Amino acid sequence: MPDTGQTALLDRAGLDALVAALTADGRTVVGPTVRDGAVVLAELDGADALPWGWGTELEAGRYRLVRRDDGAAFAHTSGPQSWKSFLHPQREKLWDVDRDAAGELTVCPARNEPPSYAFLGVRPCDLRAIAIQDRVLAGGHFRDDGYAERRSGAFLIAAECTEPGATCFCVSMGSGPAAEAGFDLALTELIDTGGHRFLVRAGSAEGARILDRVPSEKGDTTTSDAARSAVDAARDRMGRAMPPMDLRALLGASPEAERWDDVAARCLTCGNCTMVCPTCFCTTTEEVTDLTGDHAERWQRWDSCFDLDFSYLHGGPVRASARSRYRQWLTHKLSTWHDQFDSTGCVGCGRCITWCPVGIDITEEVNALAEEARS
């Protein structure tokens, strides 16, 4: 999606007007807000619901909200949810089937008209994640019609990163902190001697159309340079990094590495990393019925390769050990994903590190594999 070159400056009222313009177009606006001790993604009635003045402190297995003095709206890092919660929901009904008195079955697809989403505050790493899921779920051999329908109408407003978290490593995965493509609008929040404002760039014709409807000032070179400098500075403050090498080759050549035993001794195989990952896409189906047996439903729900039954074949699971399941997840994410989808499956958001209950750090594990391969 090319950058149209159109820029504008919004203040807090202008951001609220942007939400109002999207709502007036019939869109469901979703963005970050504070709830239950975290920055979560939820439907927004207006810009006032954004996490103004909230930041986050992160480490492996640790997440805390902290108050800020500057009133920033987008100075937090990624929370436990990603946008796949809306585009590829955790549980979705596929169809209903009913049996009448004569024993005839009637099957009815359960898909409803999907919302027209507008996502406000999509981090560059999550833009990349959405592009990856587009290839997997909408552009591959096994198209997910529900995903494709929800994605086709989604309006994406990126929020460039100026304050990365301690578990972020998007630079080493080539997915941030700047928004390069895949957005309708991209905003950069600035708080300096020039005041609190948002530089907004249009990345599509639809983005330019919406921006024209919002009260704003014309973007200027000074503000554009300040925004670029703020994002460039964030590039040098990443909390983590992958080793600068061919990760696809490293993981592909490391199936018998001793490091797998080390991480398996710590891994709980809980599947948290796959649930919070913005690109993990595995699902299973389940059928439920009422007590009469005359009504049944099929549901699709998220599944995880850490589930013991995920690889079950007649006689037992293919990957029975924690070692084999963690190795499968990491090798697929960084290596064999290329064979299937022509890209890595990791965008460097760091969620799997933050939300691992025992603090397993994917960058630490890959660096350890690289060191073992060199020895």
pLDDT of residue 1: 37
Helix (H, G, I), strand (E, B) or coil at 286: strand
pLDDT of residue 2: 46
CB 152 within 8 A of CB 190: no
Residue with more model confidence, 46 or 1: 46
CB 278 within 8 A of CB 126: yes
Judged against a pLDDT cut of 80, whether residue 296 lies above it is answered with yes
User: Look-up: residue for tokens 């301690």?
Assistant: 166
pLDDT of residue 3: 52
CA dihedral sign, ordered 264, 266, 268, 274: negative
- Kindly state the percentage of the chain with pLDDT values over 70: 99
Instruction: Measure the CA–CA gap between 287 and 75, rounded to whole angstroms.
Output: 43
Mean pLDDT of 48-74: 95
pLDDT of residue 131: 96
Helix (H, G, I), strand (E, B) or coil at 32: strand
Give per-residue pLDDT as tens, 234-268.
Answer: 999 998 999 999 999 999 999 999 999 999 999 99
At 60, the pLDDT band (50, 70, 90 cuts) reads very high
Mean pLDDT of 91-117: 90
In sequence order, the 6+-apart residues with CB closer than 8 A to the CB of 261 are: 323
User: Look-up: residue for tokens 């040098």?
Assistant: 236
Give per-residue pLDDT as tens, 196-220.
Answer: 999 999 999 999 999 999 999 988 8
Cut 0.85: pTM above it = yes
Query: What's the start-to-end Cα distance of the chain, in Å?
Result: 44
CB 349 within 8 A of CB 82: yes
Mean pLDDT of 178-204: 94
Mean confidence (pLDDT) of the chain: 94
One-letter amino acid at 295 equals H
pLDDT of residue 241: 95
CB 122 within 8 A of CB 157: yes
Helix (H, G, I), strand (E, B) or coil at 296: strand
CB 127 within 8 A of CB 112: no
CB 282 within 8 A of CB 303: yes
How is 78-116 classified by DSSP, letter by letter? --S--THHHHS-SEEEEEEEEE-TT--EEEEE-PPPPP-
pLDDT of residue 141: 80
